[in-house]
Amino acid sequence: MPTTFSDPAFDEVMEGTLLSSACSPAIEEDGFRGLRIAAPEVVTYLPGDFNPITGAFARIVVCGTYRLEFSTLGLDGDFVESIVLVAVDEGRRETFNGRMVTVPKRLPPPPRPDGLTPADFAGDVITGYFNPNLAVVLDLPEQPADYVVYAVLGPYESNRVSISVREAERAQ
């Protein structure tokens, strides 16, 4: 599945992971609480060429960073699977949304020291990362499109990014 990005740094991003990468948006403001995302401006794909594992026609990777208080929405720091990803096809006025599903057999969070409860972490601030492939998470159709993409978690809405998805020319 040869996908190309207008920004080659996205080639190095491991889709579906919770890892930081060179494409992860930086959050430098101490008081910031919320989400930020980054994406390549253009993604190209070869029609009819699908990933044999995910079934995706392309890697439409978005890199996200969040900084939230541990107790946000009562999620006790487990935010990623509650983040809603939204892509609006500007030309067709179609909206796609879904949640990133992480690895089903992921490691459980480390145990809390004896005697500590979620209330003990209530004021703590957590920074984390997410790297979904929108073609997988949102089941985007295999077609050229111009998407406006953002992420939402409760009252927090990320910045918006534009991604143009285009067919690549087959080598002759």
Per-residue pLDDT at 1: 47
Among 160, 171, 168, CA closest to 142: 168
Per-residue pLDDT at 55: 87
Per-residue pLDDT at 54: 86
Residue 126 CA to residue 66 CA, distance in Å, equals: 8
- Residue 18 lies inside a defined structural domain of this protein: yes
For 151, counting Cβ atoms within 10 Å of its Cβ (0-12 exposed, 13-18 middle, 19+ buried), the class is buried
Residue 137 CA to residue 64 CA, distance in Å, equals: 14
For 25, counting Cβ atoms within 10 Å of its Cβ (0-12 exposed, 13-18 middle, 19+ buried), the class is middle
- Residue 124 lies inside a defined structural domain of this protein: yes
- Residue 104 lies inside a defined structural domain of this protein: yes
Domain extent for 114: 4-167
Q: 88 pairs with which residues across the strands?
A: 95, 148
| DSSP class of 41 | S
- Residue 39 lies inside a defined structural domain of this protein: yes
Per-residue pLDDT at 27: 94
Q: 163 pairs with which residues across the strands?
A: 147
Q: What is the pLDDT along the chain (172 residues), one digit of tens a residue?
A: 456 767 889 999 999 899 999 999 999 998 999 999 999 999 999 998 888 888 899 999 999 999 999 989 988 888 999 999 999 999 999 999 999 875 554 555 556 666 677 677 777 899 999 999 999 999 999 999 999 999 999 999 999 999 999 998 776 6
Q: How many domains does the chain have?
A: 1
Tokens of 46: 């070869």
Per-residue pLDDT at 108: 59
Give whole-number Cα distances, 61 to 70, 116, 165, in Å.
Answer: 26, 37, 11
Q: 96 pairs with which residues across the strands?
A: 87
- Residue 154 lies inside a defined structural domain of this protein: yes
- Residue 21 lies inside a defined structural domain of this protein: yes
- Residue 172 lies inside a defined structural domain of this protein: no
| CB contact at 8 A, 95 and 54 | no
- Residue 23 lies inside a defined structural domain of this protein: yes
